[in-house]
Structure 1
């Protein structure tokens, strides 16, 4: 689709992406999603107008044009959640372009996002999370791979790490200290306590791993010695959940959800859990915690006593 839009628009898109990379601390995966979303929008507008769209015509986009684009996206099967994400990227780009080219962006910025029901995470019960950790090592006959898989999943549940964060650990992070400095989404860093079970699981993996693990190299290795792909952990969890009869929602990210939920159920402070997870917003942490309303309100009452 890159050839559909004008060179000036292509340059503007590249400039906006560079701006996001430099100033907004956006991850490369997010940048790729932004690029796909905005490029799709610009390509549609070119075809919709029936002529190449340079910078000047972008200022002429109407509410009707926006409705046509959204109808086109829904018509090709894009869900409300995905369309809302695309619209957010388009608005971000359009505002940046309008500021740079000095035109009025109201028609685009006023476009309403489609409504959708937020998908709440589904954590595992405590016994199911424990069974997952204990059973995952049975999916292979190779001891070091079994220890590796168990160590990764223990980090997800025991420290609340994202799978990308666990797999970004290096040989220099071992032996695991009492706390880890984790760089998460948006290049935000946080301090995460390391529980004994996670430290012991990683120590066992270190003892059995057949590869050298120098300080700058990935800690978790694939069968052939390269960096471990997240798909390998997703796959072994799929096998384990089938063996245990757990639902399809028992994914690597569900272990992180479970970490938050079980901490809160045990009386953990919501704000502290927010810090451990690295969430910018407390509302995001609430979505990660499947607790009953009464318990949640009790936590609020303790954190914010009434005057």
Structure 2
């Protein structure tokens, strides 16, 4: 099975420009950016509740603590939220009608309290990528792009492993897509 496509910056911008004109634009943008800028799995995004993302003052936290039930490997982990993602998430959070801390952070019209399932969110994201005609993009592309982009900036594989919540370093290494720009920068270090 082929791995999900890693995005170039201009491809992500193309998707975000498309989403800007869609119904639920802020919600969809926040969902996509959580995968691309924080490396969350689609199931982890779907599992987010208000209390995971917002503090008591309804401000986006700098760290999202995922419980074991919310992660693929059933191991709790902390997701670090950079400032630009916090601003994006806050913009979305400010549009939410409910403030119940146990409600889904990404409610749906059909299931506002529970929100998306991992499967319905996967279908939703894949549909967005299909509409943007990004060949090979899947709901896992944001996570893979997150890891590859950090690797290309020189972040060590052990840090990447921890950020991704992987148990084995070989899993993290498989996510890193080596490209010509990375190779050019590498040989310039000689």
TM-score, with structure 2 as normaliser = 0.79
* Higher relative helix content: 1
The aligned counterpart of 1:147 is: 26
1:294 to 1:155, Cα distance in 2 relative to 1, 3 A: closer
The aligned counterpart of 1:237 is: 125
The aligned counterpart of 1:165 is: 44
Aligned equivalent of 1:189, options 47, 64, 76: 76
Structure 1 gap ranges (5+): 1-117, 300-307
Structure 2 gap ranges (5+): none
* Consecutive aligned runs of 4 or more in structure 1 exceeding 3 Å deviation: 118-121, 230-240, 292-296
1:236 to 1:216, Cα distance in 2 relative to 1, 3 A: closer
Q: Is the 8 A contact 2:103 2:113 kept in 1?
A: no
Structure with larger Rg? 1
What is the CA-CA distance between 1:200 and the residue it aligns to? 1.8
The higher relative CO (CA closer than 8 Å, separation ≥ 6) is in 2
Aligned equivalent of 1:179, options 49, 63, 72: 63
Q: Work out the number of aligned pairs and report it.
A: 175
Aligned equivalent of 1:252, options 101, 121, 139: 139
CA RMSD of aligned residues (A): 2.5
1:234 to 1:133, Cα distance in 2 relative to 1, 3 A: farther
Q: What is the alpha-carbon distance in structure 2 between the residues aligned to residue 294 and residue 245 of structure 1?
A: 24
The aligned counterpart of 2:177 is: 290
Q: What is the alpha-carbon distance in structure 2 between the residues aligned to residue 294 and residue 222 of structure 1?
A: 40
